[in-house]
A and B are shown apart, each in its own frame.
Chain A
């Protein structure tokens, strides 16, 4: 069992959990994820590790309540509760360097985070910063209250550019506009952006990759697909990269954004939409009636 030592709201529907998982914390490197099964009847879902505290043996997970499992996680799990299973760290660590350049090359890295993509971005941005690269972070969301990890990312970035779709915070516009502006500006000044890393919703990563392609800026994206085991056993996470099937769990989670078939990936992500909707509707109905009958409804949870 994996005790929750801290739970904090980061905004609408977004919660941060610090979970005791000393083995995972000890081995974690930037870019890796865990498979979490909150309780005995839950799905196993992949969550990218947002931070670790090796000393305390904790890992930080940022969870946006979007489906049954994540809604249940954020609504019903409190400090002192435990997640049934947290397995990891899984996937390959991020290569902290510039593709195509020697290892000792130090360059400019654009870290582009959409919504809660900011959380998994943190260890990557920090690793580039600690290795001596210049990190420019672009943080975007639909509106102000969906911007998370601004301070943490700011502390490892030479520039922090914030934008919102509705202009409620930072500049009004999409991360792609800001990214294009950054590349143009750096090039005009005789510099460059050597590598871009995009983490966020699939559509955002797709358009970030499209934005950098004409500039020939190497672009990494971190994919979060449907998985069952996370160790290469099921093949459910497969995605077409450069025309070949690759497994996000063991070949990824990061891939060359210019090679990823985002449309195919998004189609596969929607594979269980009706089942997910049914599961959520059932949960809501059950939860509602439970609360009417028994005020302390959380007790029905299996440990």
Chain B
């Protein structure tokens, strides 16, 4: 993102909106970007509130005016669920916020969430022609920020429109996991008129949206509002239920469910596997973030669950979870947070905005550094992280240049906490306890890509249990695709029943 962020004046924004129909594309492409305000880095590390402030209505409209309404809609192609971006931007520019949010919700049920957590720079905004003209991704129309603005606007109007619920079919569907994929699926199932019961292992709905992504990036009130909406649509939630333990998939069918959607996510943290990982002070990012977010350790001792607070912290990894952990550590009082990544900045999978924010907040990026050992004191607590410097070698099968360790180039980072954020595997509980479900060698479930049906009849799956560690939007996309396929499946089954038992 190219700073400094100098915004056009209020008069300029108003004039731009006024003249919006008159711009020629060449002129439109040169309109200055409209930046949203943010909490200053110094202020925000002292609280857990959201970092960016929402656009004002005029800012959102003026930013939307920058859209060139390209005929071939490259932004729509870049969106995993195909949100009609130019159409909703046009409505925003015209000030028709209600129309715009309706247009988004035709394809994306959770815009307040996606506007905040989608990696727009590698989806819709990556393909934006305005960015191409400027040869700088930072110039893309701020689709995500406008999307979040619209969703917040609608919620604050107090009139969130719920999608119409279909006539009751009497068919029952069990959704396993209340994360983004399960929530999206359950919402659509109600639109088709099927009963939807969501089984969740934790005591709260949201999955990674509540246990993983921190408050400062996705306020939990927003997630809860979406969950409340689903409840209003008739979705039922059953907490404290671990499918594979509390009951099996087979028992769900015996209890009268007609189909099941498995969306249990990537809930198994990987560790690097280096000496010292059983020391006191070593966390998986899953544990660290779950303690801080879901269990409220931010507020310890008001809430009972503690999380270690120390001056020096090392986070391993280069994805969003690593950024979340590093920035959470700062908010928990750490004075020096290292982010240790084997490759270079270009290879980091995190959202640009998160990298930018982490950097602004003072996270010390140690690129091309491979963790080799966690050094412990005689008390068994972490005292340092030993890393080996690397250089980039040949590209690997994914095209990312492989980090090659430089012999003898070791360094010790003095830290008391090490948080490993190097990825998660699929949760093994359901495959382990359900006969007939085929898994890949990575432990993910095998599905028919067109229908999301697994190798078991009536059992569908999506999200990270199928895709491995992926994105919120893709997980939601799976949920919606599966809901449509489940609807078709249930109708086929119903027809077959009628044919088999003619009156």
Binding site for B on A (CB under 8 A): 23-24, 27, 37, 41-44, 68-69, 84-90, 228-229, 231-236, 238-240, 245, 250, 261, 264, 267-268, 270-272, 275-276, 278-279, 282
* Contact (Cβ within 8 A) A43 B203: no
Other than the known A88-B246, A90-B242, A239-B278, what 18 A-B pairs have Cβ atoms closer than 8 Å? A27-B247, A41-B296, A44-B295, A68-B304, A84-B203, A85-B239, A85-B240, A87-B241, A87-B246, A88-B245, A228-B287, A231-B201, A232-B427, A233-B268, A234-B287, A234-B290, A236-B283, A279-B304
B267 touches A (CB below 8 Å): yes
Q: How far is the CA of A232 from the CA of B416 in the complex (A)?
A: 25
* Contact (Cβ within 8 A) B278 A272: no
8 Å CB interface, B378-408 against A: 380
Cβ contact of B242, chosen from A87, A239, A271, cutoff 8 A:
A87
**Chain B 371-383 against A: per-residue CB contact (8 Å), 1 yes, 0 no?**
0000000001000
Cβ contact of A264, chosen from B241, B246, B380, cutoff 8 A:
B380
* Contact (Cβ within 8 A) A271 B280: yes
Closest CB pairs A-B (n = 3): A275-B306, A234-B287, A87-B240
* Contact (Cβ within 8 A) A87 B201: yes
Cβ contact of B269, chosen from A84, A234, A267, cutoff 8 A:
A234
* Contact (Cβ within 8 A) A229 B304: no
Binding site for A on B (CB under 8 A): 201-203, 239-242, 245-247, 267-269, 271, 277-278, 280-281, 283-284, 286-287, 290-291, 295-296, 300-306, 308, 380, 427-429
Query: Chain A residues near B203 (CB, 8 Å)?
Result: 37, 84-85, 87
Query: Chain A residues near B301 (CB, 8 Å)?
Result: 275, 278-279, 282
* Contact (Cβ within 8 A) B280 A235: no
* Contact (Cβ within 8 A) B429 A232: yes
* Contact (Cβ within 8 A) B271 A89: no
| Of listed A89, A228, A270, A279, residue having the most chain B CB within 10 A | A228
Min CB gap A250→B, angstroms: 7
Q: How far is the CA of A88 from the CA of B241 in the complex (A)?
A: 7
Q: List 10 A-B contacts (CB under 8 A).
A: A37-B203, A41-B296, A44-B295, A68-B304, A86-B240, A229-B267, A232-B429, A236-B284, A238-B278, A275-B300
Given contacts A245-B271, A264-B380, A276-B306, contact A231 B246 (CB under 8 A): no
Closest B residue, CB atoms, query A234: B287
Given contacts A229-B201, A235-B269, A267-B380, contact A89 B284 (CB under 8 A): no
Closest A residue, CB atoms, query B266: A233
Cβ contact of B286, chosen from A85, A234, A279, cutoff 8 A:
A234
* Contact (Cβ within 8 A) B271 A232: no
* Contact (Cβ within 8 A) B308 A232: no
Query: Chain A residues near B287 (CB, 8 Å)?
Result: 228, 234-236
Given contacts A69-B304, A231-B427, A272-B306, contact A23 B241 (CB under 8 A): yes
| Of listed B240, B286, B291, residue having the most chain A CB within 10 A | B240
Q: How far is the CA of A56 from the CA of B112 in the complex (A)?
A: 44
Min CB gap A156→B, angstroms: 26
Min CB gap B294→A, angstroms: 8
* Contact (Cβ within 8 A) B306 A90: no
Query: Chain A residues near B281 (CB, 8 Å)?
Result: 271
Q: How far is the CA of A267 from the CA of B376 in the complex (A)?
A: 13
* Contact (Cβ within 8 A) A43 B304: yes
Query: Chain A residues near B428 (CB, 8 Å)?
Result: 232, 250
Closest B residue, CB atoms, query A87: B240
Q: How far is the CA of A232 from the CA of B286 in the complex (A)?
A: 10
Min CB gap B422→A, angstroms: 12
Q: How far is the CA of A264 from the CA of B280 in the complex (A)?
A: 9
Min CB gap A107→B, angstroms: 29
Query: Chain B residues near A239 (CB, 8 Å)?
Result: 278
Query: Chain A residues near B271 (CB, 8 Å)?
Result: 235, 245
* Contact (Cβ within 8 A) A233 B242: no
* Contact (Cβ within 8 A) A231 B242: yes
* Contact (Cβ within 8 A) B267 A233: yes
Min CB gap A215→B, angstroms: 29
Query: Chain A residues near B278 (CB, 8 Å)?
Result: 238-240, 245, 261, 264, 268
Query: Chain B residues near A245 (CB, 8 Å)?
Result: 271, 277-278
Query: Chain B residues near A270 (CB, 8 Å)?
Result: 280
Given contacts A27-B246, A88-B242, contact A233 B427 (CB under 8 A): yes
Q: How far is the CA of A101 from the CA of B18 in the complex (A)?
A: 85
Closest B residue, CB atoms, query A24: B246
Min CB gap B125→A, angstroms: 32
Cβ contact of B429, chosen from A23, A88, A250, cutoff 8 A:
A250
Query: Chain A residues near B304 (CB, 8 Å)?
Result: 41-43, 68-69, 279
* Contact (Cβ within 8 A) A228 B295: yes
Query: Chain A residues near B286 (CB, 8 Å)?
Result: 233-235
Closest B residue, CB atoms, query A86: B240
Closest A residue, CB atoms, query B306: A275
Query: Chain A residues near B429 (CB, 8 Å)?
Result: 231-232, 250
Closest B residue, CB atoms, query A261: B278
Query: Chain A residues near B241 (CB, 8 Å)?
Result: 23, 87
Query: Chain B residues near A268 (CB, 8 Å)?
Result: 278, 280
* Contact (Cβ within 8 A) A23 B201: no
* Contact (Cβ within 8 A) A228 B268: no
Min CB gap B179→A, angstroms: 12
Query: Chain B residues near A69 (CB, 8 Å)?
Result: 304
Q: How far is the CA of A228 from the CA of B295 in the complex (A)?
A: 9
Closest A residue, CB atoms, query B427: A232
Query: Chain B residues near A279 (CB, 8 Å)?
Result: 300-301, 304, 306
Given contacts A235-B269, A235-B287, contact A229 B202 (CB under 8 A): yes
* Contact (Cβ within 8 A) B305 A43: yes
Q: How far is the CA of A206 from the CA of B284 in the complex (A)?
A: 27
Q: How far is the CA of A271 from the CA of B278 in the complex (A)?
A: 12
* Contact (Cβ within 8 A) B277 A229: no
Query: Chain A residues near B268 (CB, 8 Å)?
Result: 232-233
Query: Chain A residues near B427 (CB, 8 Å)?
Result: 231-233
Q: How far is the CA of A86 from the CA of B201 in the complex (A)?
A: 10
* Contact (Cβ within 8 A) B245 A27: yes
Query: Chain A residues near B300 (CB, 8 Å)?
Result: 275, 279
* Contact (Cβ within 8 A) A235 B284: yes
Q: How far is the CA of A238 from the CA of B240 in the complex (A)?
A: 22
Q: How far is the CA of A41 from the CA of B300 in the complex (A)?
A: 10
Query: Chain A residues near B277 (CB, 8 Å)?
Result: 245
Q: How far is the CA of A259 from the CA of B317 in the complex (A)?
A: 32
Cβ contact of B245, chosen from A84, A86, A90, A233, cutoff 8 A:
A90
Query: Chain B residues near A85 (CB, 8 Å)?
Result: 203, 239-240
Query: Chain A residues near B280 (CB, 8 Å)?
Result: 267-268, 270-271
Min CB gap B463→A, angstroms: 15
Q: How far is the CA of A261 from the CA of B241 in the complex (A)?
A: 32
Query: Chain B residues near A87 (CB, 8 Å)?
Result: 201-203, 239-242, 246
Cβ contact of B302, chosen from A41, A88, A234, A278, cutoff 8 A:
A41
Given contacts A27-B245, A228-B295, contact A41 B303 (CB under 8 A): yes
* Contact (Cβ within 8 A) A229 B290: yes
Min CB gap A239→B, angstroms: 8
Q: How far is the CA of A68 from the CA of B301 in the complex (A)?
A: 11
Min CB gap B205→A, angstroms: 13
